[in-house]
Structure formats: C-alpha cells, structure tokens
Amino acid sequence: MKNFGLSKNERVKLKKDFNKIYTEGQVLYSSGNKLKVNYFIESSVNDFGVKAAFVVSKKTGNAVWRNKVKRLLRVAYRFNKSDLIELCSIKNKKLLVAFSPNNFNQKKNKKLNLEFIYSDFISLVEQLRKVI
C-alpha cells in the first residue's frame, strides 16, 4: 500500500456502510466551520483501519466545482491518513468517515485551492484522533 495513495480498500463504497455512517454515526465540524465529517467507529478484532468517502451535495455547485472539491478533500486526506490508520490499528477500531463541505458553495467560492480547505481539514483530523 502506498503512503499517499488511496486504494479501493480504503474507500467507503457499500450502501450499508453509508447507512451506518449517516444513521448510527456522529458529526464533527471543523474549527472554521467550512468542513464537516460524519463518522462511525466500531470495535473490530479482525477488520481494523480507516475507510473514507468524500461527499458533495448537488446543491453546492455544478459538476466541475463538486469534483474539484472532492479532489481537494482527497488530497488533504491522503496527506493526513497515516495518523488515523496507525491509531485505529493500535486500538483495534474500524473507522468509517465521510468528509463533506459544510459552509461554502460555488456562488460564494468560485476559486478553490488546497490552502482554503487544508487548515480546517487538519482540525477535523485532530478532533477525530481525540474521539478514537
């Protein structure tokens, strides 16, 4: 497994996993209130680690803008995932997360870059580490 890659095994793809995240999971908001993460933690002896999804609503903007937001979220996650994976493997936990924008859309923010999202993303990861 690559350090900064995102393989298929590291993504949330099943409908039952999304249902767990959104029905039984909890929500955290970033310090700048730009991003939110829905997460579900379960204790697991055999299957531990982190699975991530990146979700953007159709109401926030057109397809090009939504894809750019998801791409930026994936980049930020890949740089910070090693801490979460290590912590989950030590504590034998399985973490399912869904990252999404909370308080920005295409009308407010036409131009996006990684610096706009990155500080809030790091605050979300720190909050997740405390919860695990």
Q: Which of the four pLDDT bands, split at 50, 70 and 90, describes residue 25?
A: very high
Q: What percent of the chain has pLDDT over 70?
A: 98
Domain residue extents for the chain: 8-131
| Whether residue 1 has pLDDT greater than 70 | no
Query: What CATH number belongs to 8-131?
Result: 3.30.230.10
Mean predicted lDDT score pLDDT of the chain:
90
Record the pTM. 0.89
79-130 confidence digits (pLDDT tens): 988 888 899 888 889 999 999 999 888 998 888 899 999 999 999 999 999 9
DSSP 40-92: EEEE-SS--EEEEEE---GGG--HHHHHHHHHHHHHHHHHHHHHHHHHHHHHT
Question: So what's the pLDDT on residue 2?
Answer: 65
